[in-house]
Amino acid sequence: MKWRASHILVSDHLLAEKIIAELQQGADFFALARKHSTCSSKKKGGDLGWFGPRAMIPAFENAVKRLGMDQISRPVRTQFGTHIIKKTGQR
């Protein structure tokens, strides 16, 4: 199994909650990733491309596995910060 996901990485949990609220009100994930993410993937709207098992840290991969297509996660905390993840593909 392979997955494709985009994410917004922030250092602050409260900012993550604010971004999720904006997304729930219809804000554009791509635009919010470019504006807020601290990851270099922000240039691509947070797109991380396709990845297989064990390519990402366990907490991130597990969150992606649980998401439905185009579903957005609750904040996922890792050693890199707080991620807001959007699953964009599965094959």
Q: What digits encode the pLDDT tens for the residues 35-51?
A: 999 999 999 999 999 99
Q: What is the pTM of this model?
A: 0.96
The pLDDT tens digits for 61-88 are 999 999 999 999 999 999 999 999 999 9
Q: Which helix (H) or strand (E) holds 8?
A: strand 3-10
CATH architecture, domain defined by 3-90: Roll (3.10)
Tell me the average pLDDT across 12-20: 97
Whole-angstrom CA distances from 1 to 89, 90, 91 are 11, 7, 6
The span from the first CA to the last CA of the chain, in angstroms, equals 6
